Structure 1
Amino acid sequence: MVETLAKPRDTAAAIRTAALGMFAEKGYAAVSMREIAEASGIRQGGIYNHFAAKQDILRALMVGHMEALIAAWETHAPMGDDPAADLTEFARFHIGYHFERPEAVFVAYMELRSLEPDNFAAVEALRDRYERILRAILERGAAAGLFALRDPAVETRALIAMLTGVTTWVREGGRLSIAEITDLYAGLVRRAVGLPDATKTN
C-alpha cells in the first residue's frame, strides 16, 4: 500500500488569510497578534516565525493585493491598438477582479492610514503603477482625438475610485446582476471621456 503524505501547511498563508478576515471585520487597530495566531491555528509565539509584527502582516496583505492586481491585468488584457476598447476592458476587468475580493479591497483602501511610512510608500508606489495603466489608456485616447479630457491624472483617480466603489454596495442576488452592473459602469466610464455608451453585452 502506498502511503499518502499530507501536504505541508503554508502557515504564512494561513496567517495572512486569518488576518485579512479579522482586519476587514474589526479593523487593523482592534486585532492583536494573539487573536491572529489563534485564528490561524498556531501558538502565539509561532506567528513570529513568519511575521515580526502585525504591521508586517498588513504590509504583506496590501503589497500582495496590488502585485496580484497588476499581474492579473497584464495577463488578462495587454494593451491593444484601440484606446476605446482598452478603456472598456479595463473597466470590466477592474470591477470583476475587485468584486471577487471584497475583503482584500476593503483592507487595501481603508487601512492605508494604518501603514507606517515605509510601508505606505511601498503600497503607494504599486497603486501609482496601477493607475499609470489607466492613465496611459486615457492619454492615448486623448492623443488620438477620441477622448475629451481636462486633467488625465485627476480623471484616472476619479474613474478608479468609481469602479472600486462597486464593491461597497453591490451584492449577489440584487435587482441587477453583476454583469448588468458591469455594463452600466463600463458605459459610465465611456461617457465620462466623451465616448458613446456602446457596452451592452448580448
Structure 2
Amino acid sequence: MARKTGSHSEITGPKIKQAALVLFARHGFAAVTMRQIAANVGVQAGAIYNYTPDKQALLFDLLHGHMADLLSKWAVELVPKNPIAALDHFVAFHLDFHIKRPELVFISYMELRNLSEANFKAIVEQRRIYEKIIYNLILSGVVSGDFLVPDPKITSLALIALLTGPVDWFREDGRLTSDELTRQYCILTRQALGVSAQA
C-alpha cells in the first residue's frame, strides 16, 4: 500500500509509537484502538498500517526498544572493578535510566501479559540478560567477601524491583533531587547486601 501524500515515515513512524505509548499507559493496551492512535497523530485510520502491521507490533516495538536501549547503554558503561563501587554504579545507572521513562516502565510491566507468546519470550529473554548483569555483580561481591547474601539470584531480582519502584512516585520537583534519590538508594542496596557502614 502506498503512503498517503504528505506523510513522512521518519516523522510519522516515531509519532505513532509515541502516541501508542501515551495511550497504552493512560488507558491500557486492550482499551486503545488503532483508530485512536491514528487520531492522536493526526492521520487517517488506514494510513497507520503503512507504519506498523497491528497494535501487537506497536506494543512489542515499544517494549523491545525499551530493553534494547537499556542493554546498549549499560554495555558502554565503565563499571568499576570493586564490587561495592560497581553496585553503586549500577544503582545510579538503573535509577537514572528508569525515572526518565516512567510510561515505558509502566507498560513494560503492566502490558507484558498482552504480548503474543513469541513476543513475550523475546522480552523475557532481554530481561534475563539484564537480570544476569546484577546477579553477576552480586555474585562477584559474595565471592570477594564484600557482600553477605543467602541467595544472589533472589537478591538480584529483589534489587531490580526495589530500584524500579521510584518510577511510581519520584518527581523532579519533589522533596528529593535525583542525586539525593541515588544516594539514598545506594545506602539501601548496600545495607541489603550486608555491606558495613564503613565500606
Same fold (TM over 0.5): yes
Q: Deviations over 1:130-179 (max 9, x none)?
A: 11111110011111111111111111110000000011011222222221
CA deviations 1:12-58 (Å, max 9, x no partner) are 21111110011111111110011111112221111112211101100
Distance 1:190 1:14, change over 3 A: same
Whole-angstrom distance in 2 between the partners of 1:27 and 1:126: 23
Matches within 5 A, 1:64-83: 64-75=65-76, 77-83=77-83
- Give the drift of 1:180: 1.1
Relative to structure 1, the CA distance from residue 198 to residue 16 in structure 2 (aligned partners, 3 Å threshold; closer, same or farther) is farther
Letter matched to residue 46 of structure 2:
G
Report the equivalent of 2:60: 59
Q: Which residue of 2 aligns with 1:27?
A: 28
Quote the Cα distance in structure 2 between the aligned partners of 1:22 and 1:137.
Answer: 37
Q: In structure 2, how many angstroms separate the alpha carbons of the residues matched to 1:166 and 1:93?
A: 13
8 Å contact from structure 1 (residues 159, 189) kept in 2: yes
Give the structure 1 partner of residue 47 of structure 2: 46
Name the CA distance, whole Å, in 2 between partners of 1:8 and 1:117.
29
Q: Which amino acid aligns with 1:87?
A: L
Amino acid at match of 2:191: R
Residues in 1 aligned to 2:115 and 2:102: alpha-carbon distance in whole angstroms: 20
Which portions of structure 1, spanning 4 or more consecutive aligned residues, are displaced by more than 6 angstroms? none
1:65 positional shift: 0.2
Measured in 2, the distance between the counterparts of 1:183 and 1:124 equals 30
Partner of 2:87: 87
Structure 1 gap ranges (5+): 1-6
- CA–CA separation in structure 2 for the residues paired with 1:170 and 1:124: 26
Structure 2 residue 170 is the aligned partner of structure 1 residue 180: no
Structure 1 residues 70-123: Cα deviation after superposition (integer angstroms, max 9, x where no partner): 111112x23332111111100011011111111111111111111111111000
Does the CA-based 8 Å contact 2:79-2:89 persist in structure 1?
no
Tell whether 2:189 aligns with 1:170: no
How many residues are paired up? 192
Q: Which runs of 5+ in 2 are unaligned?
A: 1-7
Please report how far the alpha carbon of residue 10 of structure 1 lies from its aligned counterpart in structure 2 after TM superposition.
2.7
Residue 37 (1) aligns with residue 38 (2): yes
Alignment of 1:181-200 (within 5 A): 181-197=181-197
In structure 1, the residue matched to 2:4 is none
How high is the TM-score relative to the length of structure 1?
0.90
* Counterpart Cα distance in 2 of 1:147 and 1:8: 50
Partner of 1:3: none
Would you say the 8 A contact 2:87–2:137 is kept in 1? yes
SS in 2 for 1:10: helix
Single out whichever of 174-183 and 128-137 deviates more from structure 2: 174-183
Note closer, same or farther for the CA distance 1:193–1:31 as it changes in structure 2 (3 Å cut).
Answer: same
**Cα distance change of structure 1 residues 99 and 121 upon mapping to structure 2, 3 Å threshold:** same
Give the partner amino acid of 1:48: Y
